[in-house]
Amino acid sequence: MSRVLKARMASEYEEFFRGRPAILFVEYRGVTSAQSVGLRRALRKEGMRLRVIKNSLAGKALESLSVTVSDELLAGQIAAAVGGTDAAALSKAVTRLAREVPVFKVRGGVLEGRSIGPKDVEKLSRLPSREALLGRLAGCLQAPLANLVGTLSQIPASLVRALDQIRREKEAQEGVSHSGPAASGAGDGPSPEAAQTSAQAEEK
């Protein structure tokens, strides 16, 4: 392979790996053409990519991105899987495909710039993906929101009832204030007119 071609491939690998929160490496020896097409198609449906790589050039590309991986990880015929919403989603997809295609074995990978082994990938595959977490969050928020909507829908009726009650109490208080003095004054003594007539009689 010429230097120009090697440099071009290294540059392509660098772009392929750049900005990826997770990169998974898998065994590719023994994978048939039909299986390869199926694996790529399955990953593509989930927004992921699978690429067979040349180990030495991939290692140099990773080094240029300040990522160091072991020689064992980049040994033999391997492919790299990237993409997805997060590392958990990528691990789930690759682990599932590895069970469906036994020769498609997980070797390990890179997570946030650090090397991880196959057991770490297995643990990641058991974690809920970002989409699953968002779904759970939406489910948690749905019930309180329903209660809030129900409460808000009751506010107008409650307000009308409260205002009506206030109106009734106010009318009752005004009725008492109008009738109270007349009723209470009836037994206290003579009216002003009667008192005046009595005073005139005494003067005569």
Q: Are residues 113 and 134 in the same domain?
A: no
Q: What percent of the chain has pLDDT over 70?
A: 63
CA 13, 14, 17 angle in degrees (round to 5)?
85
Look at residues 127, 155, 187 and tell me which one is the last residue of a structural domain: 127
What is the side-by-side strand order in the sheet with 114-116? 48-52, 78-83, 22-27, 106-111, 114-116
Q: Are residues 143 and 54 in the same domain?
A: no
Compute CA distances 82 → 67, 69, 171, whole Å.
15, 16, 76
At residue 129, the pLDDT reads: 62
**Residue at 76 is within a domain:** yes
* pTM, full prediction: 0.64
CA 91, chain centre distance (Å): 20
Q: Specify the higher pLDDT residue, 129 or 71.
A: 71
- For residue 91, give the CATH number of its domain: 3.30.70.1730
Position 197 pLDDT exceeds 90: no
Q: How many C-alpha atoms does 21 have within 13 Å on its Cβ side? A: 11
At residue 153, the pLDDT reads: 55
Residues 6+ apart with CB under 8 A from 78: 25, 26, 27, 28, 52, 53, 55, 107
Residue 106 φ/ψ, nearest 5 degrees: -75, 125
**Residue at 186 is within a domain:** no
CA torsion through residues 5, 94, 39, 31, sign: positive
The type of residue at 165 is: Q
Domain range for residue 165?
130-171
Position 47 pLDDT exceeds 90: yes
Pairing between β-strand 22-27 and β-strand 78-83 as defined by DSSP bridges:
antiparallel
At residue 155, the pLDDT reads: 47
Question: Tens digit of pLDDT for each residue in 126-151?
Answer: 887 666 655 655 555 565 655 545 55
Look at residues 127, 158, 193 and tell me which one is the last residue of a structural domain: 127
Count of domains forming the chain: 2
Question: Tens digit of pLDDT for each residue in 160-187?
Answer: 555 566 567 667 766 665 555 544 444 4
